[in-house]
Amino acid sequence: MIYFDSAGSFPVLDEARDAFINSVSKYSANPSSDHAAGVEAFEEIEKVRELIADMIGASPSEIVFTSGATESNNLALKGLLNSKLLENKKHIITSQAEHKCILSICGYLETIGYSVTYLKPNADGIITADEVIKAFRADTAIVSIMHVNNELGTINPIAEIGEACFEHNIYFHTDAAQSFAKLAIDVDGLNVDLLSLSAHKIGGIKGIGALYIREARELDITPVIHGAGQEIGLRGGTVATPLVASLGKACEIFPERFKSAQFSKLRNKLTSELVDKAIKYEVNGVSGLPQIVSLTLPEIDVMTFLLSHREKFALAQGSACSSKDIEASHVLKSLGFDRDKAERTIRLSFDFSTSENSIVELVKALHCFVNQD
């Protein structure tokens, strides 16, 4: 199996796995307990909280552990909107190209009286600050625009959007699941008030993530999961020390490895191989994170190719079967793709094991597929 789906889940780093396993028995006490074993587990968690805070220019008291970016996004939007500070503000600005979970949270919020503006990305796949500013209303409570798009790899101008929100006194949340530990993030420099991240997009284990909340203690955020006061009362449930340890280890190791990985070279190899084999292609979205490539192959029945090669290549497709029909992904739809074009689109995302040879193999298989009949 040749894996091209690191944006779906990044292969777990050996070190993150080991940190998890070691922590399972080493820190098996409840981190909320007052005895020495509990305190040890607590300290392990706090070390990771500090590490994450340092990585984004925050303070540890502003980091809340969650089960992942989906939960962080839920806490960010639902939790903040419940705040008394935002009592009369019923408008949310987001984009059509957000991760499905943001769209699903916003869909829910619409059913309880909020109105939501879903901005359409421009032809490059970007949400510009100008578009956000145009959508501002007197009752806008929060703007939620992702940092890096998970289907396109495009990078949104978070600093400009943050500045505009700051000037208009509007909270700004960004889903940074695809950018955390990959791009430099400074929550003050970017004027970000809330930021979601996830361990399994950076080589950690699934089931752990975090939400950064600016001055978390000052805001009367309503928890999504009520509990026994863990995570400054914002997220109930015993904190999963081994998962936190895996996230911490990924945070330590991933950024350097990501920086020294040759993703641009792999990307160039991909296009040069396609040219070489005379396979027509278009790259979707302006170039952003080189780890993620969205590719339309107009002359190839990509759906059939993927179906017949699912044992050989792990690739994400640009369309998905909904209840009735095959539909273009909402991200491609937001770029104006029809169903046929979406069906000819794949997403490749690289990891540390992706080699030029992986790419040669894929293009070879595409070439054989085209020329078989």
Ligand X SMILES: *Cc1c(COP(=O)(O)O)cnc(C)c1O
350's CB contacts (< 8 A; 6+ apart) are: 4, 6, 261, 263, 266, 290, 291, 292
Cα gap 72→291, rounded to integer Å: 24
Contact 201, 251 (CB under 8 A): no
Q: Does 178 bind ligand X (CB under 6 A)?
A: yes
Q: Which of 94, 117, 150, 241 binds ligand X (CB under 6 A)?
A: 150
Contacts of 229 (CB under 8 A, 6+ apart): 236
Whole-angstrom distance, CA of residue 313 vs CA of residue 363: 11
Out of 44, 62, 131, 175, the residue judged to bind ligand X by CB under 6 A: 175
Instruction: Please provide the DSSP assignment of 329-347 as one string.
Output: -HHHHHTT--HHHHHTEEE
The whole-angstrom separation of Cα 215 and Cα 100 is 28
State which of residues 6, 23, 70, 94 lies at the interface with ligand X (CB under 6 A): 70
Least distance between ligand X and beta carbon 43 (Å): 25
- To ligand X, the closest distance from the beta carbon of 119 in angstroms equals 16
User: 180, 49 in Cβ contact below 8 A?
Assistant: no
Candidates 43-51, 115-123, 195-203, 312-320 — which segment interacts with ligand X by CB under 6 A?
A: 195-203
Nearer to ligand X by Cβ, of 251 and 279: the residue is: 251
* Identified binder of ligand X from the candidate list 58, 63, 97, 101, rule CB under 6 A: 101
Q: Determine which helix (DSSP H) or strand (DSSP E) holds 283, and give its type and residue range.
A: strand 282-283
Query: Minimum CB separation from ligand X for residue 110, in Å?
Result: 20
Which member of 106, 251, 321, 368 is catalytic?
321
Entry field: residues in the chain: 373
In the set 91, 182, 201, 249, which binds ligand X (CB under 6 A)? 201
Question: Can you name the residues that pair with 118 across neighbouring β-strands?
Answer: 94
Strand runs labelled E in 16-163? 63-66, 91-95, 115-119, 140-144
Active site residue 165: no
146 binds ligand X (CB under 6 A): yes
Interaction of residue 209 with ligand X, rule CB under 6 A: yes
DSSP classification of residue 148: B
Q: How many residues bind ligand X (CB under 6 A)?
A: 14
User: How far does CA 292 lie from the centroid of its chain?
Assistant: 12
Residue with Cβ nearer ligand X (148 or 302): 148
> In a 3-state reduction of DSSP, which class is residue 288?
coil
Counting contacts by CB under 6 A, is residue 132 touching ligand X?
no
Query: Which residue, 74 or 296, has its beta carbon nearer to ligand X?
Result: 74
Binding of ligand X by 344 (CB under 6 A): no
Q: Does 99 bind ligand X (CB under 6 A)?
A: yes
Contact region with ligand X (CB under 6 A), list: 13-21, 79-87, 125-133, 198-206: 198-206
Q: Does 345 bind ligand X (CB under 6 A)?
A: no
CA end-to-end span of the chain, whole Å? 25
Q: Does 198 bind ligand X (CB under 6 A)?
A: yes
Residue nearest to ligand X (CB): 68
**Which residues here bind ligand X, judged by CB under 6 A?**
68-70, 99, 101, 146, 150, 175, 177-178, 198, 200-201, 209
Residues assigned a catalytic role: 321
